[in-house]
Amino acid sequence: MEKLFQRWYDLISIDSVSGHEVGAADYVAKVLRSMGLEPHYSYFPEDTDRQRPSVWTVLDSGKPGKTMLLIGHIDTVDVNLKNWKTNPFMPTEIDGKVYGRGSMDMKGGDAAILSTVEYFAQHKDEFSGKILVCFVADEEGLSKGTYQLVDEDVVHADYAIMAECRYNNVAVGFRGRFSFEITVKGKAGHASRYPEVGENALISAGRLAAAIEALPTLPHPKLHHGTWCVRYLAGGNSGALVVPDSCYMFVDRYVVPGEDEAMCIRQMQEAAEKLGLA
């Protein structure tokens, strides 16, 4: 248990805000090597500076059997220092709780994965098959690290445990996620002549955003239902008297079994058509 806590503290102490995960990746690779395992680095194409690797390895029992995937992400969300009373990269225990960026999401889970793998590396007689271990980058963004491992044909497993924080309960399954980028077009014109001249893309995007969030989703007995979230809107120019002719929209769609990418795109297209935007 002491080693698990030390790894947890070590990981918290590493600044791995999404965008520069390399320090945390190097740390988990070093720990895996200490167990006699060979870590592999994976980079997605946009990471030209090689600062955002995912790390994976395989522990083989030497006996036939199924494959268990243990997976965690090594990136964290950014730090708003105004909201911190402690150093976010120095684990600090107060009243039985540990404070530090990523302490819950999810460096505690990463430390637990490392200790679990270490145990089975030392006790191969206690399992059969293989354990696939993945520490991925960009989970807090667009999950590019995970998608890259899939593209590289790394991820094949019969079972999976995601060591994400769940407080005091265990979730049986998670919803999937699609992210969509939409550009709503308008027509430029001088602001003084609007609305007779010009079509405001911001207003159209707002109408579409409300329509998207009202779209139906499928229910699921354990995962409840899918959801829509318009997460970002951007457009216009505050420094020019011009009717905005374009608005960018970013949409997250969490899905349950029975919902897929094609279905989601079709729903959004139909919503746009009803508003006269397609």
Query: From CA 123, how far away is CA 116, in angstroms rounded?
Result: 11
pLDDT in tens, the chain (278 residues): 699 999 999 999 999 999 999 999 999 999 999 999 999 999 999 999 999 999 999 999 999 999 999 999 999 999 998 889 999 999 999 999 999 999 999 999 999 999 999 999 999 999 999 999 999 999 999 899 999 999 999 999 999 999 987 667 777 788 999 999 999 999 999 999 999 999 999 999 999 999 999 999 999 999 999 999 999 999 999 999 999 999 999 999 999 999 999 999 999 999 999 999 98
Q: Are 135 and 106 in contact (CB under 8 A)?
A: no
Q: Within the chain, where are the H helices?
A: 2-12, 22-34, 108-122, 144-151, 201-213, 261-274
Handedness of CA 62, 63, 64, 67 (dihedral sign): negative
Query: Is position 266 within any domain?
Result: yes
Whether residue 157 is found in the same domain as residue 227: no
- The enclosing domain of 208 has a CATH number of 3.30.70.360
Q: How many structural domains are present in the chain?
A: 2
Paired strand residues for 255? 176
**Domain closes at, from 115, 139, 162:** 162
d(CA 275, CA 17): 39
Q: Which residues are identified as catalytic?
A: 75, 139
In a domain, 101, yes or no: yes
Residue 169 lies in a domain: no
Where a domain ends, among 107, 128, 162? 162
Does residue 112 share a domain with residue 36? yes
Residues 156 and 183 in one domain: no
Q: Burial, 98: exposed, middle or buried (Cβ in 10 Å; 0-12, 13-18, 19+)? A: middle
Same domain, 158 and 192: no
In which domain, by residue range, is 198 found?
Answer: 176-274
CA–centroid distance for 67 within its chain: 23
Integer CA distances (angstroms), 121 to 9, 14, 67, 158, 205, in order: 22, 25, 15, 20, 53
Boundary-marking domain end, from 103, 127, 162: 162
Q: What is the domain-level CATH number for residue 140?
A: 3.40.630.10
Name the pTM for this structure.
Answer: 0.78
